[in-house]
Each structure stands twice: as C-alpha cells, then as structure tokens.
C-alpha cells in the first residue's frame, strides 16, 4: 500500500489500459479521480469498483480537449482531496488511415485528444505539483510514437509529441521534485486492438519477438513501479512495453 494518502488523476480510465491503471493504483491505496466522455453507467461501475478497494473515487464528465473543463475538474479534485500528486495522461483515440486518404478532421481529432489533451491536463496539474514540491506525471504514449507505424501518421505524431513533451517537461520541473516519464505500449489486448482485422492482428503478432500481445495489467504494473520510492531517480524516460516489437 505504498500509495496510501496520495491521490491520482487517471484520464480515459473507463476501459482498457486506463481502467487497469486506476484499479492497480487503488490497490496500492491511492484515491482515484478519473474522467469519462459519454458512458456514465460504466463510469459509475468503475467508481464503485475502486471504492470497494477501500479508497475514495470521483468521476468527472470531462473532455480532455476542453481546457476550461479540465481546469474545473482540477479545482473539484482539490476541493475533495485537498491535493493530488499523480497524473496519468492516458486518454487517447485512433483514426487510422493512409495519409493520402486521411481527412483534416481525423488528423485534428487525434492530435487534439492525445497531444493537446495531455497539455491541458498537465498544465492544470503542474503548478500544484511545483508548489508542493512533489508530483509524478506518467504519459501513456505508444511504440508508434517511437518507431512509426504505417497508416498512423496522426496517431504516431501525437504520441511522438507526447514523448518529446515528456522529456522537455522532465528537465523543467526536476528541481521541484516533480518527475515526468512516459510508457510506450505496443499491441495491448484492449478494445482498440480487438477491433483490428484478424489478418492484421496476426501479421503484427508475427513481428513481436515474444509472440503475443500484452495485457493492460502489464502496463499498469509498470506505472506502479514508476511510482515506487525506489524508482524516484527515474525521470524523462520512455519505457517500451511491446514484447520486443520496437527493438
């Protein structure tokens, strides 16, 4: 229970990797605040599941693309928990297509959610973290942002931007005892990956040295590791969880 007394904001927590992270941190004693975009029923179910672990939880209908909504969420978290010191930027979308066929809206939507959403959430948190001289930010990027993937120019650009953002901010705030790291998952068994065509899934699996897709819980364990006191000398790093895909 090494996170007892700490509060984490996890974006995009109602499914997949974000859900696994929220539950894992709650198991370690962290209070959890999370946002959702549409499905209040799923959000309520997650809130109850988190609270069953003996911690507090709050859900917010907030679009991370909206700077003002994010600011209000931060204020509400501070009102309820007095402070928070963990931010997991996980919210993200894909709209894959070849660049020749990609329309402007598909480009802008992915950049706005994945990269601008990370800016909005981090901007809301960073002054609080610097003032209290403690904070951990973990950005959920992607192996696509490290090595690039065909038909993902928008997604790879957004995740590559998150990685550069991570490294730059880590240098800015290290003197305030605030750490910023990124995790770059490969193919993880989530709804997003499950919606891929079977022949493409098989093709990608054949490229992974470990021969399988990852599990959301494996990403969550790495997040938990980065929050350990024993890991406090790690900042500005990008940890790939991809079964060797990006070697």
The candidate with the shortest Cα–Cα distance to 44, out of 31, 61, 29, is 61
Strand 178-185's sheet: what is its strand order?
57-61, 31-36, 7-10, 86-89, 135-140, 178-185, 238-241
Given 36, 155, 200, 233, the catalytic residue: 155
The whole model's pTM is what? 0.97
Q: Which residue has the tokens 């700490």?
A: 6
C-alpha–C-alpha distance, residues 167 and 202, integer Å: 33
The structure tokens listed for 221 are 């364990």
- Give the DSSP letter string of 145-200: HHH--TT-HHHHHHHHHHHHHHHHHHHHHGGGTEEEEEEEE-SBSSHHHHTS-HHH
C-alpha–C-alpha distance, residues 156 and 96, integer Å: 10
C-alpha–C-alpha distance, residues 34 and 207, integer Å: 34
- Please count the residues of the chain: 247
C-alpha–C-alpha distance, residues 96 and 84, integer Å: 35
The candidate with the shortest Cα–Cα distance to 133, out of 75, 180, 87, 178, is 178
57-115 pLDDT, tens digit per residue, is 999 999 999 999 999 999 999 999 999 999 999 999 999 999 999 999 999 999 999 99
Walking along the chain (247 residues) 10 residues at a time, the average pLDDT comes out as 97 97 98 96 98 98 98 98 97 96 98 98 98 98 96 98 98 98 97 86 95 98 98 98 96
DSSP H or E segment with residue 222: helix 216-226
Backbone angles phi, psi at 69, to 5 degrees: -60, -40
The neighbouring-strand residues paired with 139 are 89, 182
Specify the pLDDT at position 197. Answer: 85
C-alpha–C-alpha distance, residues 66 and 112, integer Å: 9
For residue 36, indicate whether it is catalytic: no
**How far apart, in Å, are the Cα atoms of 230 and each of 84, 197, 225, 227, 238?**
20, 41, 8, 8, 18
CATH topology of domain 7-239: Rossmann fold (3.40.50)
Specify the pLDDT at position 192. Answer: 82
Domain boundaries, the chain: 7-239
Cβ(75)–Cβ(82) under 8 Å?
no
């Amino acid at each position: 229970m090494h996170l007892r007394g700490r509060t984490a904001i996890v974006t995009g927590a109602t499914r997949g990797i974000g859900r696994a992270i929220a539950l894992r941190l709650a198991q370690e004693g962290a209070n959890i605040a999370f946002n959702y975009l549409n499905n209040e029923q799923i959000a309520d179910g997650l809130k109850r599941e988190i609270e069953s672990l003996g911690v507090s939880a709050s859900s917010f209908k907030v679009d991370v693309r909206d700077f003002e909504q994010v600011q209000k969420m931060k204020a509400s978290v501070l009102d309820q928990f007095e402070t928070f010191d963990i931010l997991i930027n996980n919210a993200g979308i894909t709209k894959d297509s070849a660049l020749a066929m990609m329309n402007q809206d598909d480009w802008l939507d992915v950049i706005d959610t994945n990269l601008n959403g990370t800016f909005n959430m981090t901007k809301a948190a960073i002054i609080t973290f610097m003032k209290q001289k403690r904070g951990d930010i973990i950005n959920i990027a992607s192996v696509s942002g490290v090595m690039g993937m065909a038909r993902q120019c928008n997604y790879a650009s957004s995740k590559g931007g998150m990685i550069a953002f991570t490294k730059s901010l880590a240098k800015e705030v290290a003197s305030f005892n605030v750490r910023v790291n990124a995790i770059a998952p490969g193919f993880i068994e989530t709804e997003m990956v499950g919606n891929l065509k079977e022949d493409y899934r098989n093709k990608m699996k054949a490229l992974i040295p470990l021969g399988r897709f990852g599990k959301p819980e494996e990403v969550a364990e790495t997040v938990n590791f980065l929050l350990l006191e024993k890991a406090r000398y790690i900042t500005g790093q990008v940890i790939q969880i991809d079964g060797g895909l990006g070697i």
